[in-house]
Amino acid sequence: MHIHILGICGTFMAGIAAIAKQSGHRVTGSDQNCYPPMSTQLISQDIQLKNGFHPANIDPDVDIVIVGNVIRRGNPAIEYVLNKRIPYTSGPQWLAEQVLKDRWVLAVSGTHGKTTTTSMLAWILEAAGLLPGFLVGGVPENFGISARLGQSPFFVIEADEYDSAFFDKRSKFIHYRPNTLILNNLEFDHADIFPDLDAIKQQFHYLIRTVPGNGQLIYHAGENQLIDVLDKGCWTPSVSFAEREGDWQARLIKADGSHFSVLQRQQVQGEVQWNLLGKHNVENALAAIAASVHAGVAPKIAIQALCSFANVKRRLEITGQSHGITFYDDFAHHPTAIATTLAGLRAKIGKARIVTVLEFGSYTMRTGRHKEALCDALKDADLVVCQRPDPDWGLTDLLTHFPQPTAVYPNVDTLVEGLAKQLLSGDHVVMMSNSGFGGIHQKLQHALSV
């Protein structure tokens, strides 16, 4: 079968492309503004990528078009598909019908930590010899690819609450029908499709309705918004986790979260020592361990597997070191994620200077919906540098209230020029964005070398 994917460079759709290719289909796709790591993954999978959404990019022999949720009515490619009555579907629906229907689905949901926790869970099952399939919204370093068909009944998936397609406004995760469901946390996000937090909570309630009675829910014991959702109705046995409460807990051996012991109902099961930082990753680990135990993995095997977990690209990933300066790439684009990431790094490096460079890439951040939370989220940064959002919702005025030095630049080139003059040996520069950020990593390191 020849499958063409519209919006193929998104993290989810690139994963769909990889699984379709591994299933034996001919896969092509079209998109614009494609950047690593998904662009390089598509190339490595020998998947033909066509630039732009021109109707001519869709071959006449195509059997079905999978439509990414970035595609809207008026897009030339989708208008062509509709006018020619070419069969089409959404990515989540294709996955549900072609891959997940006969699998034990382990789904990871929540506002934060989905990608990392999904990667942890897939790695635990892999280390236990279960050869799972998986689809992650990033590239786990242990696998080197964001998605795999797998060779067992188990399939681990990042369960996103964003909508499925322009013709299907249900959250993606409604399609997955998991046997094991992690509910990691819940905050307001995706302001482009959800009017308020209650609308998101309703989608999570619908998700819980799809979990069978012989499945399992794994929820964060300290998240009141999740408790509210569970109170709407729950028909599945559940276990809880959190650092200091719940069925699964952790005791920090190192304050930065790089070494901790794991407890199941107050009984120590083992210790995790790894390269990840932060309380949030400790709790992600607890969720992944609990889910793997439901799939039949012994706790000690799960804990041992996490000691060799290598994280995900763009999650506080070190991209280079130059002139005594360490550069990081991080996907954080919500105040909570920004705060927890910086807190973990601060606990690791002590009093060294943290320089945080922000691009407001997501719709919610770009429109200033979380601006009141930014000052507290960035409290561990010693210098805050931003690219001015478009439209500007008053960022410059907001930054005048920050206790640390700040700067705003109109574009990446002027930002690089200004920042390069301020960096010092020993700095840790964290660039935070959920997009390509205009190639800032390469540009900044080049500016320091000339």
End residue of a domain, out of 89, 111, 128: 89
End residue of a domain, out of 89, 119, 140: 89
Low-confidence ranges of the chain (pLDDT < 50): none
Q: Are residues 280 and 163 in the same domain?
A: yes
In a 3-state reduction of DSSP, which class is residue 158? strand
For residue 311, is it within any domain? no
For residue 440, is it within any domain? yes
pLDDT for res 400: 87
CATH number of the domain encompassing residue 285: 3.40.1190.10
pLDDT for res 317: 84
End residue of a domain, out of 280, 306, 332: 306
- Which tokens sit at 195? 């009017």
CATH number of the domain encompassing residue 15: 3.40.50.720
Is 263:247 a contact under the CB 8 Å cutoff? no
Q: Are residues 69 and 161 in the same domain?
A: no
For residue 25, is it within any domain? yes
Q: Are residues 330 and 285 in the same domain?
A: no
pLDDT for res 366: 65
Other Cβ atoms less than 10 A from the Cβ of 84: the count is 12
The angle subtended at Cα 49 by Cα 46 and Cα 50, nearest 5°, is 155
pLDDT for res 375: 87
- Which tokens sit at 3? 């499958």
Q: Are residues 269 and 146 in the same domain?
A: yes
* Structural domain range at position 69: 2-89
Burial class (CB in 10 A: 0-12, 13-18, 19+), 365: buried
147-159 burial code (b ≥16 CB/10 A, e <16): bbbbeeebbbbbb
Strands 154-158 and 133-135: parallel
Is 139:171 a contact under the CB 8 Å cutoff? no
- How far, in Å, CA of 314 to CA of 242, rounded? 25
User: Which stretch of DSSP H or E encloses residue 443?
Assistant: helix 440-449
Other Cβ atoms less than 10 A from the Cβ of 336: the count is 18
Q: Are residues 278 and 394 in the same domain?
A: no
pLDDT for res 23: 95
Report which DSSP code applies to 233: -
- Which tokens sit at 334? 């919500």
pLDDT in tens, 208-242: 999 999 999 999 998 899 999 999 999 999 999 99
- How far, in Å, CA of 200 to CA of 233, rounded? 15
Number of domains in the chain: 3
Sign of CA dihedral 134, 109, 124, 103: negative
For residue 259, is it within any domain? yes
Q: Are residues 275 and 338 in the same domain?
A: no
Is 218:183 a contact under the CB 8 Å cutoff? yes
Report which DSSP code applies to 145: S
For residue 312, is it within any domain? no
pTM of this structure = 0.82
pLDDT for res 344: 84
Own/partner pairs, 38-43, CB within 8 angstroms, 24+ separation? 38/9, 38/10, 38/11, 38/14, 38/146, 39/9, 41/14, 41/139, 41/145, 41/146, 42/8, 42/9, 42/14, 42/17
For residue 287, is it within any domain? yes
Q: Are residues 80 and 157 in the same domain?
A: no
CATH number of the domain encompassing residue 439: 3.90.190.20
Q: Are residues 299 and 328 in the same domain?
A: no
For residue 401, is it within any domain? yes
Q: Are residues 262 and 322 in the same domain?
A: no
Q: Are residues 113 and 85 in the same domain?
A: no
Q: Are residues 235 and 112 in the same domain?
A: yes
For residue 161, is it within any domain? yes
pLDDT in tens, 275-298: 888 888 999 999 999 999 999 999
User: Is there a cis peptide before residue 37, judged by omega within 30 degrees of 0?
Assistant: yes
Q: Are residues 332 and 271 in the same domain?
A: no
Sign of CA dihedral 333, 337, 339, 340: negative
